[in-house]
Structure 1
Amino acid sequence: MFLLNTAADYRLPLDPRDQNTLGIAAAEDVEYYLGFREDHAITPLVALPGLARDIGVATIHVKDEGHRLGLGSFKALGGAYAVIRLVLEEAERRLARAVDMAELHSEEVRAIARGMTVACATDGNHGRSVAQGAQLVGARAAIFVHSGVSDERVAAIARFDAEMIRVAGTYDDSVREAARVAEAKGWTIVSDTSWPGYECIPGLVMQGYTALVREALRQMPEPPTHVFIQSGVGGIAAAIAGHLAIALGERRPVFTVVDPARAACLFETARAGHPVTIAHGEPTVMAMLECYEPSLVAWRILSRTADAFMTVEETDATGIMNRLAGPAAGDPAIVAGESGGVGLAAAIKAVADPSIKAALSIDGRSRIFVVNTEGATDPGKYEEITGLPPAAVTAKNVEGALT
């Protein structure tokens, strides 16, 4: 399915709140914070000239977030950043003075952090980031996971000393249960989705994601003309679209938001022209994108900055995993999880459909940018789909460099 943005506020300026959250100064704050992370390294921007030639565009660049902060997902940038900002803000309140990021590991700040508990609901990746952020500062973390989250992903979160709480139902059920318990216990919810009256913290999470956009713009020889970004509740798509609109202005690329067909809450929201909750259906292999209700803040941004919305099928998601694991001649292999390559799958699908290609003005000069939002965060599932362990795919690049 495909549709162009027909929202009433399409191409209007961003809400001032969102301009502040996703603007240049805010992105610089995120980069300043990352400078204090021992495990921080700029993630690679991978060119795929072979695939670009095959589908008839000028360039394809993939920002590979499978290498981010040891967590294998772009979400490493959001949850941990929000937790640390909240700890610093609480320290400023209690100490009645400005507290810099450089003081994060001081005994004064850590004593305050020890009295704080952060909580969230997760499909896996966001919870890992929140738990890691809490461990970094000495706070407690309580992570709510729904019945569809694999034991392997639960174990990956628990290794950060987080309390794991199983919830029957879907991701959206776990969001509601996390909010209920947190309110009762006085915990701070660090969610990557927003609802009426709860916008500031999801804004901090999205702010963390601007780092990958800043890096990519510096890494690319020219800005992209077309961007395809996958979406769960909308946070990553909104962060990238919003920051590109601010950074590039009238030169911003054509931006397409991509949903799984089985969990297309942003697509249906765009069709309706206002946020809608969709019915739960058959689970999607794109587990990190299986959301049935959009973030209100994300929609506020995307209604202005997204140009189009489209969906991909289950076979598109698994097909791109295999295509990246066994790439076109001359292209490096990329380890992409079940949700990681969805933006690229949509780009290939758009170019192959004459009507979509024309609607998006894609031609032989187009420069496509996508994000591999996760590596093999569930290695067992990855091998089941591709027939290869992640290490074997990575080894292809080493072998290629030696020959």
Structure 2
Amino acid sequence: MAWFARPAARAWTCPPEPAEAQAFHASLPGYATTPLHELASLADELGVGRVFVKDESARLGLPAFKALGASWAVHRALAERAANSGAPSGPVTLVTATDGNHGRAVARFARLLGQRAHVFVSGGVHPAASAAIASEGAEVTQVAGPYDDAVRRAADAAADGPATLLVQDSAWPGYERIPRWIVEGYSTLFTEVDAQLAAAGAGPPDLVAVPVGVGSLAQAAVTHYRSRPAGRPAPSLLSVEPEAAPCVIESLTRGELTGVVTGDTAMAGLNCGTPSSVAWPYLREGIDAAVAVTDAAGARAARALAALGVSSGPCGAAPLAGVRAALTGAGAEDRRAALGLGPASTLVLLSTEGADANPHHQEP
């Protein structure tokens, strides 16, 4: 099992994200807090006190959490463009690359705001996911290569003229402002979790498990939980990624931003070869542990969640696969100690997509 641990991360702190995103999301038609399910049988299985699953299978009319980051970033980018007296008038084409959910979210908000969208879809994405993006009115370009290739194609297309705007959730030197806005948008999810845990009498979590592609959601988790007031316990943060695309584990192990050659995986939304340059400093300092899981483990986790009434695709089920790998089997006692977990601990797993978000065959 690919595993990395650095318990000192819990002592690291950073400034909080701006608070405006949550008020913006609350103003959108169809906004509602997504469910936080307590699953006692998983707590028994994992030998902890309580397990909660944040269910992002229906977020702002879409089957994944990506709507939070895309909506806030598109809002900020278009507002800034409108305020720029030198910007051309008329519709803008929002350009992005995707391995599924982010592209559909950008396309949805482009359509709602009277803009156009051009989405580059990486290889391995199910045709039904591409069709869902096209159903939002977007132009869809299929890219034969991996996600990183699609990102390069999108960036080139967005450079074609003043009527195009790149809205990408991965950052690199020279392109970091919009990815930061996307991360800000994800902060709404964690604010909701805080309130829901308090309502359940659970208090702050002891561990939060986050699925990782380029690391933007994990960056939002680090920012939220590492900006706690002094003296308040900080949870452990566990990143989970597919064995076919372990770019975060590789970067953490080497201590520097590192790209990997990706393989095939049912976890299409996590099939990314290079962490975001904006996310990397937060992941390096604030992630306690990282684990890579197999497609078979992800599929088993998705079936387990479905049996408990939670619709979750392979990416959304990855956190359950990750905590199962970390907390059971040979060496589990040492891994539990590294995460600071005991029999009364509270775990939060982020199920970032519904079963219908990225349809594909799941291995038995």
Task: Determine if contact 2:295/2:363 at 8 Å carries over to the other structure.
Answer: no
**Is 1:161 paired with 2:137?**
yes
Identify the match of residue 180 of structure 2 among 183, 203, 213.
203
Higher helix share: 1
Aligned to 1:269: 251
Return the alpha-carbon distance in structure 2 between the equivalents of residues 144 and 380 of structure 1.
Answer: 18
How many residues in Structure 1 have an aligned counterpart in Structure 2?
A: 354
**Structure 1, residues 210-257: CA drift from partner, whole Å, max 9, x if none?**
000000000003110111111000011111121111145552201111
Q: State the 1:189 CA deviation.
A: 0.7
Answering whether residue 60 of structure 2 is matched by residue 69 of structure 1, we say yes
Q: Aligned residue for 2:343?
A: 364
- Measured in 2, the distance between the counterparts of 1:336 and 1:75 equals 14
**How many Å separate the matches in 2 of 1:195 and 1:119?**
16
Unaligned runs of 5+ in 1: 97-110, 328-332, 388-403
CA–CA separation in structure 2 for the residues paired with 1:170 and 1:10 = 34
- Does the 8 Å contact 2:296/2:363 carry over to 1? no
1:5/1:303 contact within 8 Å kept: no
Q: Which has the larger radius of gyration?
A: 1
Unaligned runs of 5+ in 2: none
Matched, 1:146 2:122: yes
- Helix, strand or coil at the partner of 1:228: strand
Amino acid at match of 2:38: A
Q: CA deviation at 1:115?
A: 2.6
AA partner of residue 253 (structure 1): P
Contact 2:39 2:50 in 1 (8 A): yes
- 1:100-249, aligned counterparts within 5 Å? 112=89, 114-186=90-162, 187-220=164-197, 221=201, 222-247=203-228, 249=230
CA distance in 1, matches of 2:267, 2:91: 36
| Contact 2:97–2:151 (Cα < 8 Å) also in 1 | yes
Q: CA deviation at 1:138?
A: 0.9
TM-score normalized with structure 2 length: 0.92
Q: Which has the higher contact order (CA 8 A, sep 6+)?
A: 2
Aligned partners of 2:84 and 2:94: how far apart in 1?
17
In structure 2, the CA distance between the partners of 1:246 and 1:38, relative to structure 1 (3 Å rule), is same
CA deviation vs aligned residue, 1:293-333 (integer Å, no higher than 9, x gap): 11011111111211111111111100101111123xxxxx1
Q: 1:182 to 1:362 in 2, by over 3 A?
A: same
Q: Are positions 1:4 and 2:5 aligned together? A: yes
Alignment match, 2:72? 81
Kept in 2, the 8 Å contact 1:229–1:256? The answer is yes
Residue identity opposite 1:358 in structure 2: A
1:175–1:147 CA distance, 2 compared to 1 (3 A): same
Residues 295 and 70 (structure 1 numbering): CA distance in 2 closer, same or farther, change over 3 Å?
same
Deviations along 1:62-102, one digit per CA (max 9) or x if unpaired, are 11011211111010111122111111112222399xxxxxx
3-state DSSP of counterpart to 2:84:
helix
- The structure-2 alpha-carbon separation of the partners of 1:57 and 1:309, relative to structure 1 and needing over 3 Å to count, comes to same
Evaluate the alpha carbon distance shift between residue 322 and residue 10 of structure 1 in structure 2; reply closer, same or farther with a 3 A threshold: closer
CA RMSD of the aligned region, Å?
2.1
CA pair 223-248 structure 1, distance change in 2 beyond 3 A: farther
Identity of aligned residues (%): 36
Going from structure 1 to structure 2, the CA distance change for 1:379 and 1:225 (only over 3 Å counts) comes to closer
Give the deviation of 1:12 after TM superposition: 4.3
Secondary structure at 1:203's aligned position in 2? helix
Q: What SS does the corresponding residue of 1:263 show, helix, strand or coil? A: coil
When the two structures are superposed, what TM-score results if normalisation uses the length of structure 1? 0.83
Q: How does 1:281-292 map to 2 (within 5 A)?
A: 281=263, 283-292=264-273
Q: 2: distance between equivalents of 1:299 and 1:214?
A: 22
Of residues 218, 239, 251, the one that matches 2:233 is: 251
- Give the letter for the 1:76 counterpart: A
1:308-319 to 2 correspondence within 5 Å?
Answer: 308-319=289-300
Measured in 2, the distance between the counterparts of 1:379 and 1:288 equals 8
Q: Say which SS state the counterpart of residue 142 (structure 1) adopts.
A: strand
Quote the residue 1:101 is aligned against.
Answer: none
Q: Which amino acid aligns with 2:73?
A: A
Counterpart contact for 1:80–1:131, Cα < 8 Å: no
The residue aligned with 2:278 is 297
Per the alignment, do residues 210 and 82 of structure 1 end up closer, same or farther by CA in structure 2, a change over 3 Å counting? same
Q: Secondary structure at 1:62's aligned position in 2? A: strand
Letter in 2 for 1:90: R
